[in-house]
Amino acid sequence: MRLIFLGPPGSGKGTQSEFICKDFHIVQLSTGDLLRYHRKNGTELGKKAQEFMDKGELVPDDLIIEIIRNELKKKEYSNGFLLDGFPRTITQAEALDKLLAELNLHLDAVLVLNVPTEELITRLTARRTCPICGKTYHLIYNPPKVDGKCDLDGGELYQRSDDNEETVRNRLEVYEKQTKPLIDYYQSKGLAYFIDGIGKIEDIYSRLKAILDSIKKN
């Protein structure tokens, strides 16, 4: 299966992605991780990307597409992939369509995880992080055993600057503006599937899996 997963910050996309990849034997393809890999290993593509980043510029779409092209030719992606972090714009979506056509591949679905804004704010502003080991907690859903202390090393938990309510609201607004045209684009192609992202993790995954099982049968 070849999938794109869309969902706002705090929607639980990362957790659900792990379940999907495990059950459907596909590989998560994160453009952010790929960029970091190429930069760290000093590949030609990584050096090109670094040039733009050193100037404070975004890595161009054609370079990201080239990185994705290189990945999709690897044997590990032969059973499919779940694309995370790309595309973010209509231009990128069109470039991806063109690339997949060149490789004689097609998308099976674009999964859209829906969570109301106020729920997302509750989730994101209650997140706490350990400065020592980096482990994250949630004051409501996954609190530490001792208030304000990391279970692993006793570190004083803190709230990241980008987890305050004002910043979170801004991030969600940016996501909404960027992503809505993308959702409309894939909906017009009959590829968008909407999933209710409220409830227990297991229940949300059951909804996702039911959709994917149905697509796989067809």
Site of tokens 């910050």: 9
Q: Are 73 and 66 in contact (CB under 8 A)?
A: no
| Beta strand extents in 40-125 (DSSP E only) | 81-84, 109-114
* C-alpha dist (Å) from residue 49 to 32, 38, 90: 12, 8, 21
Catalytic-residue membership of 127:
yes
Q: Which residue has the tokens 């993790």?
A: 201
**pLDDT recorded at residue 178:** 87
Active-site pick, 48, 88, 135, 207: 88
Q: pLDDT tens digits for 23-69?
A: 999 999 988 889 889 989 999 999 999 998 888 888 899 999 999 99
What pLDDT does residue 55 have? 86
Of these residues, 2, 13, 123, 128, which one is catalytic?
A: 13
Residue 109 phi/psi, 5° resolution?
-165, 155
Structure tokens, 202: 């297991």
Which of 2, 123, 127, 128 is labelled catalytic? 127
**Each residue's pLDDT tens digit, 84-115:** 889 989 999 999 999 999 999 999 999 999 99
* DSSP helix/strand/coil, 47: helix
Contact 135, 150 (CB under 8 A): yes
CA distance 1 to 151: 38
Q: Check 69, 160, 189, 216 and give the catalytic one.
A: 160
CB-CB contact of 18 with 191 (8 Å): no
* pLDDT grade for 9, boundaries at 50, 70 and 90: confident
Q: Is 2 marked active-site? A: no
Q: What is the pTM of this model?
A: 0.84
CA 65 to the chain's CA centroid: 17
Which tokens belong to 50? 């670094």
Q: For the chain, which residues make up each domain, given as ranges?
A: 2-26+79-116+177-217
Among 39, 135, 171, 209, the one annotated catalytic: 171
Average pLDDT of span 112-120: 94
The CA-based diameter of the chain, rounded to the nearest angstrom, is 55
The 3-class secondary structure across 151-185, one letter per residue, is CCCCCECECCHHHCHHHHHHHHHHHHHHHHHHHHH
Q: Is 128 a catalytic residue?
A: no
Homologous superfamily of 2-26+79-116+177-217 in CATH?
P-loop containing nucleotide triphosphate hydrolases (3.40.50.300)
